[in-house]
A and B are shown apart, each in its own frame.
Chain A
Amino acid sequence: MSDTALAEKLVEIVGARFVLERESDLLVYNSDGLPGYRRKPRLAVFPGSREETVAVVRALAASGTSFVPRGAGTGLSGGALADDVVLLGLHRLKRVLSIDHENLRAVVEPGVVNLSLNRTVAPLGLLYAPDPSSEAACTIGGNIAENAGGPHCLKYGVTLNHVIAITAILPDGEIVVLGNPEGEIDGYDLRGAFVGSEGCFGVALDVTVRLTRKPAALRTMLADFVSVDDAARVTSAIIASGIVPAALEFMDSPTIKVVESSVYAAGYPADAAAVLLIEVDGTEAGVNADRDAIREICISGGARTVKVAQNDAERTRLWQGRKKAFGAMGRMAPHLVVQDAVIPRTKLAEVLARISRIAAEHRVTVCNVFHAGDGNLHPNIPYNADDPDEAARVHLSMGEIMRACVDAGGSITGEHGVGLDKIGYIELIFSPESLNAMCKLREVFDPDHRSNPGKVVPIHSCQEWRATPAGRSSEEHGELAGAAST
């Protein structure tokens, strides 16, 4: 179908206002939350209701058109970019359909913003636990696509652990219910397979999420260190002690400095080599005991001070610095590469030291700000992509850091997803047979790869597996470095 004919068909469904065709109108959709990649959609369509979404997906199916589902576009893996295919924006589907206080669940449309759901349920003493740092903008549908995490996932688990059921439309237009909104799942856990499928399995129409009671008491602490190594070892010691903090976040000196010089200044000691932001929750009596135990571990592990937030305003301020750290890095340079590797928690000190050596060798600045309790690193590098020499050094560093994390027994992504950005690394951790199995799973939901084509698993892994000469993957991924430096 020609672009014009397709656009006409879509305009019939959603109205002319909600179909974008002109290059200037589409410009804003050429990027997502990860600067460095640009892809131009063929056109963009924004249905305003479930019925319109179903009709759009069916129209796309009828014409064999590929598409990319997109929420708020805050993702950090290039996963929401549409490369000459239709961009299907779902942010208008933003109704909270029901809240069941008694059974601790809510049914929401995919475009509901994470923080907006939390604000809606807060007066009932409830919360939706997964809290990605982009919570003020990101949508539940996007969270499901990426299996999003966040600081409090250390104790409460990631999106996967908070999704009960999903009504989805498959790329062929069929509507299916995955999971069981009112009881156990008998048979395959199709809901589990769908969460984290990065938009490759179809489009969620509504989602039943689990809500959590707000803890009775919280204690938020900031421990500061003159040595990165000490902060890393204290993190491992807290985890090994058996206390499960609600959150345990790490920020190093470059991150502290940029946060403190921004509008998000949180009062972190500017001369510290690292700070740990630690939160415990539970009963009033229990959190005091945990606070004391953690303070003791921090002090005996070399912390200079341990400051406890005395009220909500202090707590909010401590958290603001952490949650806005990525944004604050915008002050340092026009571009930022964001990594998301995960390592075993006993390897923190060792891997951070290796990252620091890699940074020194390639003369780049790494800002470490991450979910230390989970071992989920975010070594970010602010840089100027217009300087080819610097861009080349940044990309060499990122590759070496990724390999260091994989060598430590880790994973290439903990919460941001593979998308476009990490597709070149996935063969570091999965064999051709495993990747082929993932393709088969994708093809169960989307036999023609029409939903978010070209993401997550390299296309060559989807051919029936056979022994291939070593080195093929590196040639095929030459695009990565080029794309990321644009």
Chain B
Amino acid sequence: MWKWLHSYADPQKAYNLSGRLLPWFATLAIGFIGVGSIWGLLFAPVDYQQGDSYRIIFIHVPAASMSMSAYMAMATSAFIGLVWQIKSADWAAAAIAPIGAVVTFIALITGAAWGKPMWGTWWVWDARLTSELVLLFLYLGVISLYASFEDKVLAARAAGILAIVGVINIPIIKYSVEWWNSLHQPATIKITEKSSMAPEMLYPLLINIFGFGLMIGAITLIRFRAEILARNGMRPWVRELAQAEGVK
């Protein structure tokens, strides 16, 4: 199996594979987010306590949970790139970082918009919010470290080390609502036991979480392909590709 997987470390194969996967990810992402958002925003029942303003959950929770998943994906690729010296993994990590930063930002902004009607304030310095803000800073650190090296092989390694060190923050975010008395509500979706949420609200939320994951996958593939082309500009297969596109 490893031999089979290893052949995709080759830039050209990775480029072609991600090109084949992209339409699937993109269509499914549009489908899932479309269904989840329309169901959640228009048809899900009104919350008896929070009224209609709870509906921002259908954006906020997917963005927040995917901000952590994207970080783990980035750190895992960085780890693979560092340990097995696979350059494609480094490029994947570099491709994920800005997407993760944007998703984290969306989670913070929607959280603030939700906090205003519910808690009466845009922002509180509470464990969950602060650790999510730290996550945004970590993403920005990885991006700017990657950008500040001329030699992109070194840049990927340096940014990879930082990404791996930053993984320590992920469990802190995840469990912050259980470890500290937080204004932020504890997790309502549970994998092992029954979720403390009405199924009519839960299903569109789960669909949207899945859709966000697919969307991040799709954008990552686009950026990953661009990154491969940028790093392999001198390779003959990239030149052939460019000539086929009519670039001189």
- Whether both chains belong to one complex is answered with no
B residues sitting closer than 8 Å to A (CB atoms) are none
A residues sitting closer than 8 Å to B (CB atoms) are none
